[in-house]
Structure 1
Amino acid sequence: MGMSVTISTADDTDAEKILKLQYLCYQGEAELYGDYTIEPLTQTLDDLRAELDQSVVLVARLGGEVVGSVRGAVDADGTARIGKLIVHPRLQRHGLGGRLLAALEGRLADEAEAKRYRLFTGHRSDVNLRMYRKLGYEQVGAAEPINRRLSLVHMEKPATAGQPSTLAASA
């Protein structure tokens, strides 16, 4: 990538920065589906802080600026639910999203014994679908209709045994 982007665990002081970045990053999705009421655009700071307490939340920093983030938690059956992978628009398409996702996968495998990773994206989000497929995710089941404009594509991949923790390697 040619720049010093570090990946680390988010803390409460990052909440407002993550929320602002999330709002910026989801504008394109809202436009694509003609819906500006999607949850990432309506999430409150208190809701995000609750996620920080209940999930693993990672941030990518360029100096002091939060330029990316991703969240995930493992449920009782070992499924890691991954959400809200965001990268600042000026840094997209340089591999940072993949680095964030790999770092989160490593953490969830190491600390929470994830057996599989699951995420979703909109059916028209071609860039996201391409990236997730490139990273080993495959669609599971039929797309889930949400409304007449949006269906969610659920994707999954197994956690591999001995998967290296990539948090240290990417920091």
Structure 2
Amino acid sequence: MGMSVTISAAREGDCEQILKLQYLCYQSEAELYGDYSIEPLTQTLDGLRDELGSGYALVARLGDEVVASVRGSVDASGTGRIDKLIVHPRMQGHGLGSRLLSAIEEHFAGQLSAKRFRLFTGHRSESNLRLYRKHGYAPVATEALSPGLSLVTLEKDASAREFVASA
């Protein structure tokens, strides 16, 4: 008998699992850009706890294991900032990232009255860019952080309805 993945708000006790998953998931990004000093790989447990204390996070669980997560916050202007959408490598390609992205958008729009959503990714992170475009995000800015890394900022209006194709 298989287990189904459930999505819920992150709890204080999830911090260690989220941090370990984040470290695992960002290895491929670090390799892609040749930079293992990126913030997701250097963040401390206390730093993560502080971040979660001032924002909102969702986790996807398979049994007791956190297999995916997303977090963010809504600022005073009504912008829902979505950060660190991560999915365990063995769980990728099954729509879990789409489910988490939709769930955090729904929470921000419904509970926190977000007017727009904003997120960013590296310019070479094609699978991330493809996912975000599929969800209706459009690039609004690109910032060069180093000769090998530019961050692409994408946004969409909270009232936009995306039509996600089945995988």
Q: TM-score band (shorter)?
A: over 0.9
Separation in 1 of the partners of 2:79 and 2:130? 22
In structure 1, the gaps of 5 or more residues are 164-171
Q: Which amino acid in the other structure matches residue 47 of structure 2? A: D
CA contact (8 A) 1:11 1:52 kept: no
Count of residues in Structure 1 that have an aligned counterpart in Structure 2? 160
* CA displacement, residues 2-57 of structure 1 (integer Å, 9 cap, x when unaligned): 85100000011000000000000000000000000000000000011011111110
SS state at 1:82 partner:
strand
Question: Which residue of the partner structure matches residue 79 of structure 1?
Answer: 79
Q: Which amino acid in the other structure matches residue 27 of structure 1? A: Q
* CA displacement, residues 111-153 of structure 1 (integer Å, 9 cap, x when unaligned): 1100000000000000000110001100003x10000110000
SS state at 1:58 partner:
strand
Question: Which residue of the partner structure matches residue 99 of structure 1?
Answer: 99
SS state at 1:94 partner:
coil
Question: Which residue of the partner structure matches residue 153 of structure 1?
Answer: 152
**Structure 2 matches for 1:18-167, cutoff 5 A?**
18-141=18-141, 143-160=142-159
Instruction: Work out the percentage of aligned pairs sharing the same amino acid.
Output: 68
Question: Which residue of the partner structure matches residue 15 of structure 2?
Answer: 15
Q: Which amino acid in the other structure matches residue 159 of structure 1? A: A
Separation in 2 of the partners of 1:118 and 1:31? 25
CA contact (8 A) 2:79 2:117 kept: yes
Q: Which amino acid in the other structure matches residue 107 of structure 2? A: R
CA contact (8 A) 2:80 2:116 kept: yes
The alignment's C-alpha RMSD in Å is 1.2
CA contact (8 A) 2:115 2:157 kept: yes
Separation in 2 of the partners of 1:45 and 1:103? 25
| Structure 1 stretches of at least 4 aligned residues deviating more than 6 Å after TM superposition | none
More relative contact order in 1 or in 2 (CA 8 Å, sep 6+)?
1
**1 or 2, which has the higher strand percentage?**
2
In structure 2, the gaps of 5 or more residues are 162-167
Separation in 2 of the partners of 1:128 and 1:32? 13
SS state at 2:83 partner:
strand
